[in-house]
Chain A
Amino acid sequence: MNGSRPDNEPGAEPPGNPDRLYILSTAETRARPRTHLDLVTLIVSRAEPDPGLQPEHAAVVRMCDFPLSVAEISAYLELPVSTLTPMLTELLSDGKVEARPPVPAAALPDVRILEAVMHGLQKL
């Protein structure tokens, strides 16, 4: 996790733009030590699938070259989430994939997230 922030000059956050979220840093600092996998945890591969991997593990690594939620992986592989989760846990501990946790649960959502979602919905 090198915290890449494409199309952003370092430290040049335009103030008051709800599109530019703080979530990257929040998600990193609040990530639990043992990764808990939510339906909307985003999984991203860290490497090419190596030939030693079992076919389904390899399929996960291949399809996650761009971020995909646990729910999407489960849908594409037609595997119940409860079957997929242990596979992902293995891939995570072997460093084959990384997990980007959802916006941390709170009693009430953060207003900045709500503003961003409203802004996004307006474009629908």
Chain B
Amino acid sequence: MDYRSSESYAGPRSEDTLPATATAAVKVVIVGGFGVGKTTLVGSVSEIRPLTTEETMTQAGVGVDDLAGIEQKTETTVAMDFGRISINDQLVLYLFGTPGQERFWFLWNGLFEGALGAVVLLDTRRMEVSYDVIGRLEERGVPFVVGVNAFPGAPRYPMSELRAAMDLDDSVPMIDCDARDRASCRDILMALMRYLYTLTTVSPEPQ
């Protein structure tokens, strides 16, 4: 009867199940370059051990050196880590970590559709990735906040300099964070929610 403990059972452990009352979910996307702390952030706040889901996409492309111009198809598989926070007995928040490099942007369609917003994790050792990500999010109209992860030995800049380097509007929150620290991760998610709240409640200035 207790199939959850049997060897062959695939599925959540009983402590990882959602209540039957769970009615709907929302998602937030954590985006940043490789090694910036996405998985760490998800793990810090998730009520379940972070899980991995895969997405594959067949991309048609023409090889640069391909004189015949024959279409080549490449199958790309990308793993995304995600975690979960039960907000109350009806609403569930999912957090997806997704790589920021341009070659992974094909994932973004399904991922950002319906997402509340995003957290961009900024690694001061490799700012180009974040710069591109921010540009792309702005293009797509996805609201986001920026978390600046402090790695040992990483260059330190004043926030105002980072903001200028990222071409960021003054209204976009930028916060120092440590992805290993639960409270710090909660604060950054909270900052995103507050930011979304202002966007939703404050009507745009008349021209």
Contact = CB atoms under 8 A, between A and B. Distances in A.
Interface stretch (B48-56, B119-127, B153-161, B164-172): B48-56
Contacts of A7: 21, 89
Contacts of B90: 21, 23-24
Given A23-B24, A23-B90, A74 B53 contact: yes
A63 B12 CA distance: 7
Interface size class of B (residues with CB under 8 A): 35 or more
A116 B199 contact: no
A109 interface: yes
A102 B114 contact: yes
Given A40-B26, A71-B94, A124-B45, A81 B54 contact: yes
Contacts of A76: 10-12, 51
B22 A38 contact: no
Nearest to B21: A6
B27 A102 contact: yes
A77 to B, nearest CB: 6
Given A38-B113, A105-B114, A109-B200, A100 B10 contact: no
A90 to B, nearest CB: 18
Contacts of A79: 54
